[in-house]
Amino acid sequence: MRLTVIGTGYLGATHAACMAELGHEVLGVDVDPDKVAALQAGRVPFHEPGLPELIARHTASGRLRFTTDYAEAGAFGDVHFVCVGTPQLKGSEGADLTYVDSAFAAVAEHAAPGALVVGKSTVPVGTAGRLARAHGRVEVAWNPEFLREGFAVEDTLRPDRLVFGVRSERAETILREVYASVLAAGTPLVAADFPTAELVKTAANAFLATKISFINAMAELCEAAGGDVGVLAEAIGHDDRIGRKFLRAGVGFGGGCLPKDIRAFAHRADELGVSLAFLREVDAINMRRRDKVVELARELCGGSVLGARIAVLGAAFKPDSDDIRDSPALNVAARLRLDGADVTVYDPEAMDNARKAFPLLGYALSAEEALGGADLVLHLTEWPQFREIDPERARSLVSRPRIVDGRGVLDADRWTAAGWRFWALGRPAPV
């Protein structure tokens, strides 16, 4: 089939490459000419494992192309996927739908009459219906996306499930054809009406955010009561109604999705006269964990971080990504810098993005360089390579061997045995 993918950021570039991998002819469309030029040259302007190989392979074969031209896209595609951003509106919790609205308007103007235009962006419930009313020339469907950055290719080629929000058998049949090989592999399909399909995505994100904040609230309690949230999480996780995933206490979630999605969800619920006020508490618990790391750093530096050398391991909001949108690591690093600390950050992939967004922070070319002369080390993004750091060697580099594990994954016994004082959120302080 001939597909277009409108918006070629994290989601769209991955979707375009994976659709080519499934055998379709794909044209990616973006308003950013630099992004289009990079992708057309077979280069991915962000870090996503496995994606550069797919983009290079399919741009070379000609099955995948990129353009800024909507007229070309309209003439090319039978099905158009809209993957543009839906960031948080400035000064509001709500989602900014201007990119979605303009992408739908542009594609509806240029597409063949009756073409299927499929939204993949995460939107407030009611958006698909509104767009269908506004653009009667084309048929609208919604196919929310659940990929995780760092696993985006795998999640697109082998998703847990597909959700189609459709208003006609024709739309469902076309989408079944697009995803024929994914469905043939046994992937469950949920076909739903528009509001349900839109809500599935925001409900899934709200559930995941709630699970993370739940364990982080338990970490706060453990800190107050002298308990150990690691042991607590393991014990409750053995109950398979609860499960062990997403129960690791730490500095909390960030990124371009969960924080803005739960805010937009609570905001939209208010508009509909339904209270999702608990999501505001989920958000507040999450943000308090960043405060906790800042306070702990201050306390460990004798009440003020002024002049203290602090090494921050991690800048991306999660490992295997260079995405720094609403990154807890950089939020903490920037606040400590504002308080007068001499902060040095190292991240395996996100250094360029971090430098652009936070030019006043110090940056090192390696974890070892960041550790050099540090009074305190903060481990804030769970890159596997940080787990491989040898505490003995690290001890020889720092000025004072003190580390806060903000992700709850480092081996406390190993670090302690090597002479470090080791703190983790929600766990007893070292004696």
> Annotated binding site for NAD(+), which residues?
30, 35, 86, 122, 149, 260, 325
Binding status of residue 118 toward ligand NAD by CB under 6 A: no
Binding status of residue 103 toward ligand NAD by CB under 6 A: yes
Binding status of residue 121 toward ligand NAD by CB under 6 A: yes
Q: Which CB, 106 or 361, lies closer to ligand NAD?
A: 106
Q: Which residues are annotated as a binding site for substrate?
A: 146-149, 201, 246-250, 254, 318
Binding status of residue 332 toward ligand NAD by CB under 6 A: no
Binding mask 226-265 for ligand NAD (x = CB under 6 A): ------------------------------xx--------
Q: Which residues in 33-187 belong to E strands, given as ranges?
A: 64-67, 79-82, 116-119, 139-142, 162-165
Binding status of residue 327 toward ligand NAD by CB under 6 A: no
Q: Which CB, 161 or 387, lies closer to ligand NAD?
A: 161
Query: Where would I find the H helices in 349-411?
Result: 351-357, 367-371, 384-387, 391-397
Q: Which stretch binds ligand NAD (CB under 6 A): 99-107, 344-352, 360-368, 371-379?
A: 99-107
Binding status of residue 83 toward ligand NAD by CB under 6 A: yes
Are 386 and 313 in contact, with CB atoms under 8 Å apart? Answer: yes
Q: Which stretch binds ligand NAD (CB under 6 A): 125-133, 142-150, 304-312, 381-389?
A: 142-150
Q: How far is CA 150 from CA 35, 49, 224, 349, in A?
A: 20, 6, 35, 12
Q: Residue 302: what residue type?
A: G
What burial class does residue 259 get, using C-beta atoms within 10 Å of its C-beta: 0-12 exposed, 13-18 middle, 19+ buried?
Answer: buried
Q: Residue 276: what residue type?
A: L
Q: Which CB, 85 or 230, lies closer to ligand NAD?
A: 85
Q: How would you classify the pairing of strands 162-165 and 309-313?
A: unpaired
Q: Which stretch binds ligand NAD (CB under 6 A): 81-89, 169-177, 346-354, 380-388?
A: 81-89
For the bound state, the minimum distance from the C-beta of residue 287 to ligand NAD, rounded and expressed in Å, comes to 19
Q: Which CB, 21 or 320, lies closer to ligand NAD?
A: 320
Q: Which stretch binds ligand NAD (CB under 6 A): 143-151, 279-287, 376-384, 406-414?
A: 143-151
Binding status of residue 84 toward ligand NAD by CB under 6 A: yes
Q: Which CB, 140 or 217, lies closer to ligand NAD?
A: 140
For the bound state, the minimum distance from the C-beta of residue 106 to ligand NAD, rounded and expressed in Å, comes to 6
φ and ψ of 24, to 5 deg: -85, 160
Structure tokens at 155: 């999640």
Q: Using CB atoms, what's the residue nearest to ligand NAD? A: 9
Binding status of residue 328 toward ligand NAD by CB under 6 A: no
φ and ψ of 81, to 5 deg: -100, 130
Binding status of residue 79 toward ligand NAD by CB under 6 A: no
Q: Which CB, 6 or 171, lies closer to ligand NAD?
A: 6
Q: How far is CA 97 from CA 28, 143, 210, in A?
A: 20, 17, 25
Binding status of residue 122 toward ligand NAD by CB under 6 A: yes
Sheet arrangement for strand 79-82: 64-67, 25-29, 2-6, 79-82, 116-119, 139-142, 162-165, 189-192
Q: Which CB, 149 or 375, lies closer to ligand NAD?
A: 149
| 3-class secondary structure, 394 | helix
Binding mask 9-48 for ligand NAD (x = CB under 6 A): xxxx----------------xxxx--x-------------
d(CA 368, CA 359): 21
Which DSSP state fits 430? P
Instruction: List the catalytic residues.
Output: 257
| 3-class secondary structure, 190 | strand
φ and ψ of 151, to 5 deg: -130, 25
Q: How far is CA 389 from CA 208, 311, 319, 364, 380, in A?
A: 30, 14, 16, 16, 14
Which residues contact ligand NAD (rule: CB under 6 A)?
Answer: 6-12, 29-32, 35, 83-86, 99, 102-103, 121-122, 145, 147, 149, 256-257
